[in-house]
Chains A and B, each alone.
Chain A
Amino acid sequence: DSGVTQTPKHLITATGQRVTLRCSPRSGDLSVYWYQQSLDQGLQFLIQYYNGEERAKGNILERFSAQQFPDLHSELNLSSLELGDSALYFCASSVGGSREPDTQYFGPGTRLTVL
């Protein structure tokens, strides 16, 4: 167990809908990262937050957005869902705050299925 929690574990929804995925980082970690993993694909970086502020952005679609709250949990919002958005969405956390890369610990993921 990495100490990173994600809810829900599974999510099944229809095209055009909107969903929210939630992540709680490890105790003491200020950075949260979101990754998307499609079937048989690697992990694609979406976005990173550090202490409530957006720090880095990857190939995140405009239909997707995220935020990190004062208690450091983060939410990833996916809207106007398409079939191709079906994937595993992982959250990771790290201590953050340093200019040097630090170790990221992954949560168990949310499996999103869009029908």
Chain B
Amino acid sequence: GESVGLHLPTLSVQEGDSAVIKCTYSDSASNYFPWYKQELGKRPQLIIDIRSNVGEKKDQRIAVTLNKTAKHFSLHITETQPEDSAVYFCAASIAGTASKLTFGTGTRLQVTL
């Protein structure tokens, strides 16, 4: 089955810097890749997603890039702010599997002042 891996369990950046979190996936049939942000004790919130027919998607300070050849996708956050501090989960889904999401273990992003 599909497996999803995150390269960094934690990432610390200074306020205003950029943060990049990379995620790999195993199944080349995966075609939907969302990123969720989860604050402590709260629900995962979708922040951006990308489908396999697109290489990059941007929404204000957040962007996601997809490299299908290398089977990885990355979350980019620019001009980080303290409120960006949270755990970020990547996930992947395969068409025809009823949208079942396979999640990575999460990267804790800490934005320091």
Complex contact B95–A48 (CB within 8 A): no
Given A41-B105, A48-B98, A101-B32, A106 contacting B43 (CB threshold 8 A):
yes
B60 sits at the interface (CB 8 A)? no
* Alpha-carbon gap, A104 to B101, bound state (A): 9
Given A42-B105, A104-B46, A56 contacting B97 (CB threshold 8 A):
yes
In the assembled complex, how far is the CB of residue A106 from the closest CB belonging to chain B, in whole angstroms? 4
- Taking CB atoms, residues of chain A closer than 8 Å to B94 are 101
Complex contact A99–B95 (CB within 8 A): yes
Interface footprint category on A? 20 to 34
In the assembled complex, how far is the CB of residue B88 from the closest CB belonging to chain A, in whole angstroms? 11
Smallest CB gap from A109: residue in B: B43
List 23 contacting pairs A-B, 8 Å CB cutoff, sorted by A: A2-B43, A31-B99, A33-B101, A42-B89, A42-B104, A43-B101, A45-B102, A48-B98, A48-B99, A50-B98, A56-B100, A99-B95, A100-B31, A100-B95, A101-B95, A101-B99, A101-B101, A103-B49, A104-B99, A106-B36, A106-B43, A108-B42, A109-B43
